[in-house]
Structure 1
């Protein structure tokens, strides 16, 4: 019995081995060899010889350096293209995100710089004495030709007033010893200066004629702007007033100026220094003699005040020479020097310019170029009348026509009816007409 059971078990084992297609397909030695080769880069291809794996084609080859093109169709032979597209798209997204971060960083820097610039100007602006009147309240002749008004918009025009205030009050109460019109061509950045003679006999807009210098003492900057606009057909609403002490500080900050002096100018300059030392409490040497001299702030101010050589006509010319040199110095100065100048000069400034106006001036300072200068009235004479020793325009209307040609290039300018009427009244008051020779 026992032997019979063992015989049956042996026959079953033999049948199992005979029925196994893999065991039956190759010898045992080949099986080991096949498995060993299957672990290599090419060995797995031989598994496809066995029928037991049917249509699957046996285990697939590993990925090679050439990509996935060796994968069989069951695994999708085009997988390499899909993977490459995915990789490229992902790299593009990373590149876009990187560029976006760079632009955001640049934008943040620009915003910070702009904010810093506004903060800088705001701090400086708070040092200034600010005008309290509204620029829209300034008188402007309404009968000026509108074509002329449009042309004038291509220029920025300021009025500069220089006052000799011993108390530091720049708003009123003192005469404007210096009155300048500054015209800036917005395209070319050319600056032209026209000094209005302080003793000019003009309509003060309050019903009488007087020296224009006296208007500032009574009505301040606003009334002075009214007089300039009404008598000269201008539309100035912005002004800057400085104390003469500002000239001293500015010249010293920029290292002095060089001027050719006559013997007479040296005499009067040193004479004015006597008063200047007493008023300002500063020591200053006399100018040694005529010829080219390097002047400090005190000496430059004394030079600007000389009025007994060439009367007010040459006096204003001397003032323009000093201003021209200061503007040239400021244009080439470094940032530290400009900052020092602002800190010292702004407390001596009274103006209705706002922060944006100041920013426009500062950003264009290196582009400005000085053009011609002149004095107004261009055709004039002197007279002593009820207003005192005055400078009388010979035909105010013609003088205004010449002024517009100078400031704005309006060669064929026709003065308004308002100016024509003032011109006739001056002739009536003084008897000075076109037959009088200009001085």
Structure 2
């Protein structure tokens, strides 16, 4: 279903949830999801910074090509002891190398991971050559295995969330899903798998960017759950997740990243979140129908410095001095 687009949340679990106590078990399992990739970033790496592109797709049976419906840059920052998640809006208007201008999510359609890497590097100046990808089918099982996720339900979204949750429930092939349970109140509460996916899917009541924020909220809640996961529970999670995942990280890289990420989280539990383009700063973005690209985000070409400073220099978006001066704004028409 087209609404099941943001299962990128599961990717974070894969990278942060592999304790070394299960080294032998994980080596066999993780080796099965590796795919070869010869792409090497053209942007010089920064010591202490690890960037991985997390992508979620909603490929239909028989499709030879699909779009990335979710894209996040996972940054493990050893220099500042934090982890960052930066959502890249799928509707961002970009130049796709060797093709034409269009939405960011079409880069994968035309050239898989390599073209998506090139597009992100050329547009935003962020070096990435590693990815982890998952499709939507696993998310509900993962959330249920972890005992649900706690999120804040806005009062004006209860009906819409239930509508999407019912669709998710009807397509959930888990024999233990029980009878459908609707969300009855707003406020902070624990959601099961199909409820959480309904929460993560809606956007027409507010915006696609707000949907990204809801997905990040689920992601942070899942990471909190994962910290309390026992070693005996992890194999079940991995057996559920891994059949839906592919990555060009080898087993050693995954284990090293997991160890580094857990070390960072042990020092600072904060997961810093951001999104690009800077839709909360209307002077630097413009959303609307543009040429034959449909609805897109046009962004200030010079504002990429704000994204770069967040990822590489740990400068919070709202604290970046570039945002104090609009005289250099140049939208990417």
TM range (shorter): 0.7 to 0.9
Give the distance between the partners of 2:213 and 2:107, measured in 1 at CA: 22
Say if 1:236 and 1:343 are closer, same or farther in 2 by CA, change over 3 A.
Answer: same
- In structure 1, which of residues 392, 401, 417 is the aligned counterpart of residue 305 of structure 2? 401
Quick check: which has more Rg, 1 or 2? 1
Map 1:231-270 onto structure 2 (within 5 A): 231-270=123-162
Residue 357 of structure 1, CA deviation: 1.0
Match of 1:132?
36
**Matched residue SS, 1:158:** strand
- In structure 2, which of residues 208, 214, 221 is the aligned counterpart of residue 325 of structure 1? 221
**Matched residue SS, 1:222:** helix
Match of 2:53?
159
Match of 1:209?
101
Normalized per residue, the structure richer in helix is: 1
Give the 4+ runs in structure 1 shifted more than 4 A: 115-118
**How many equivalent pairs are there?**
290
Q: Is the 8 A contact 1:225 1:237 kept in 2?
A: yes
Q: Deviations along 1:118-147, whole A, 9 cap, x unmatched? A: 53232111342x3332132x5x35xxxxxx
Residue 280 of structure 1, CA deviation: 3.1
Match of 1:390?
296
Give the distance between the partners of 2:260 and 2:227, measured in 1 at CA: 10
Give the distance between the partners of 1:277 and 1:333, measured in 2 at CA: 25
Residue 239 of structure 1, CA deviation: 0.7
Match of 2:326?
none
More RCO (CA 8 Å, sep 6+): 2
In structure 2, stretches of 5+ residues that fail to align are 1-19, 279-283, 321-328
Map 1:193-342 onto structure 2 (within 5 A): 193-281=85-173, 284-342=180-238
Residue 168 of structure 1, CA deviation: 9.5
TM-score where L is the length of structure 2: 0.79
Matched, 1:183 2:75: yes
Give the distance between the partners of 1:228 and 1:157, measured in 2 at CA: 12
